[in-house]
Amino acid sequence: MNNPEYVLIVASSGRMLAQAAHQAGYKPFVIDLYADRDTCLYAQETLLIASLALNHILPALEAFFARIPLTHVIYGSGFEDHPESLDYLANRLTIVGNPPDVFANILNKKYFFSVLDQLSIPYPHVTFNEPKNTSDTWLTKPLQGHGGVGINHYRPNDKLPTSVYWQHYVKGTSHSVLFLADGVNLQIIGFNNQWSVQSELDDFIFSGISNDGNIPDQHKASVAGWLAKIIPVFALKGLNSLDFICTADSCYVLEINARPPASMQLYDDALFVRHIEACQGQLYESPAIPSDNYKAYQIIYAGHDTQIPMDFAWPSWCMDLPNDGALIHTGQPVCSIIASHKQSQHMMQQLVIKQQIIINQLDKGIRHGI
């Protein structure tokens, strides 16, 4: 990347990447959908847009280009529904991450699962036509999605969008593996546990993740073997993650997130630089700095319409902070919290306590009109 002074970050939420870029000594400029308080703190400048659609991104890009000599862009989540925007970014800037064609190939479910078949990698059975055997348990999934949005248990009488596929439901524990790749080779950063919540519209909304990857060694070896096969086929680069599910005796691939995922913030601060270097074909021999503590990240969703009180005092362990007076609708993210502890059980207990503290303080602030 030749260490440019500035880097553009475009994502649904740019806080994580802005924070990582700032800590690595870069000057990030952010375009995202929230312009959270802490995003604005880490960024040189943040522009709020309504969506990642090209007609919304273009004015923000031109506003930056008119004043800032931007040459490189790192993208986060949200482009799954807007591939044309990613193509445009690639035409105007150097993308530090997977190029649009790689990103599109990962999102092309028919192609993705056909590659897994060719590589003899297991995944829960999928079909692209409404299943006739309704005695089995199925999920409906969007052909292009992220964060669990649009994933639901299949109910034959429900009205479904046209852009879905069906996947056999496997009951097990949900995990991911964070890894670096240079297009051919990989380095595993860590195995993670992840969990979801049910919303009014979706059954499996991403809620949280921890680096307490308590997965049997044989399963870890299987996942590492899968990645060694997958990465050169798709030419994956930089930070990515693979989601998978484990039963008592088996593991199955679910999907790949072909951009820096939420789990990167559970590991050492150097990962932002390592992402850049991996995209340039460089991988460290030692991919991660060991930590004495487990770490977890969780999103708090609004249980009811909530207006953030003025001058609300956010604890230091909160992030993705909405602005004073912001109206958070039911089911939307309020903020994120992070916890760490030497014992996994205590770490998870901290998350429960911290979430309740935020909920209680917000409810108290609303009642008293703070």
Q: 65 or 160, which is more confident?
A: 65
Establish if 166 belongs to a structural domain.
Answer: yes
Residue 73 confidence (pLDDT): 98
Instruction: Give the DSSP per-residue string, 83-134.
Output: HHHHHHHHHHSEESSS-HHHHHHHH-HHHHHHHHHHTT-----EESS--S-T
Same domain membership, residue 215 and residue 149: yes
Same domain membership, residue 248 and residue 169: yes
Based on the structure, what is the number of domains in the chain? 3
pLDDT per residue over 320-332, tens digit each? 999 999 999 999 9
What's the mean pLDDT in 88-104? 97
Range of the domain at 344: 294-367
- Please report, in angstroms and rounded to a whole number, the separation of the first and last CA atoms in the chain: 46
The overall average pLDDT reported for the chain is 92
What's the mean pLDDT in 349-358? 96
CATH number at residue 129: 3.30.470.20
CB-based contact 90:209 (threshold 8 Å): no
Q: Tokens in use for 301?
A: 């969703």
Share of the chain above pLDDT 70, in %: 95
Residue 359 confidence (pLDDT): 94
Residue 2 confidence (pLDDT): 60
Amino acid at 323: N
Same domain membership, residue 314 and residue 219: no
Establish if 313 belongs to a structural domain.
Answer: yes
Establish if 241 belongs to a structural domain.
Answer: yes
Same domain membership, residue 129 and residue 206: yes
Q: How confident is the model at residue 5 (pLDDT cuts 50, 70, 90)?
A: confident
Residue 291 confidence (pLDDT): 65
Same domain membership, residue 187 and residue 144: yes
Establish if 285 belongs to a structural domain.
Answer: no
The residue among 96, 127, 148 that closes a domain is 96
Same domain membership, residue 271 and residue 362: no
Residue 364 confidence (pLDDT): 82
Residue 3 confidence (pLDDT): 65
Same domain membership, residue 112 and residue 218: yes
Residue 286 confidence (pLDDT): 58
Same domain membership, residue 86 and residue 44: yes
pLDDT per residue over 200-256, tens digit each? 778 899 999 999 878 999 999 999 999 999 999 999 999 999 999 999 889 999 999
Share of the chain above pLDDT 90, in %: 82
Residue 135 confidence (pLDDT): 67
pLDDT per residue over 276-330, tens digit each? 999 999 997 655 555 678 999 999 999 999 999 999 999 999 999 999 999 999 9
Number of alpha carbons in the 13 Å side-chain half-sphere of residue 309 = 17
Residue 276 confidence (pLDDT): 95
Q: How confident is the model at residue 370 (pLDDT cuts 50, 70, 90)?
A: very low
What's the mean pLDDT in 62-72? 97
Same domain membership, residue 262 and residue 311: no
Res 107 pLDDT > 60? yes
Establish if 46 belongs to a structural domain.
Answer: yes
Sequence-separated (6 or more) residues with CB below 8 Å from residue 239? 97, 178, 179, 180, 189, 259, 260, 261, 264, 271, 274, 275, 278
Establish if 286 belongs to a structural domain.
Answer: no
Same domain membership, residue 144 and residue 244: yes
Establish if 284 belongs to a structural domain.
Answer: no
Res 366 pLDDT > 70? no
The residue among 76, 96, 116 that closes a domain is 96
pLDDT per residue over 22-33, tens digit each? 999 999 999 999
Same domain membership, residue 272 and residue 246: yes
CATH number at residue 37: 3.40.50.20
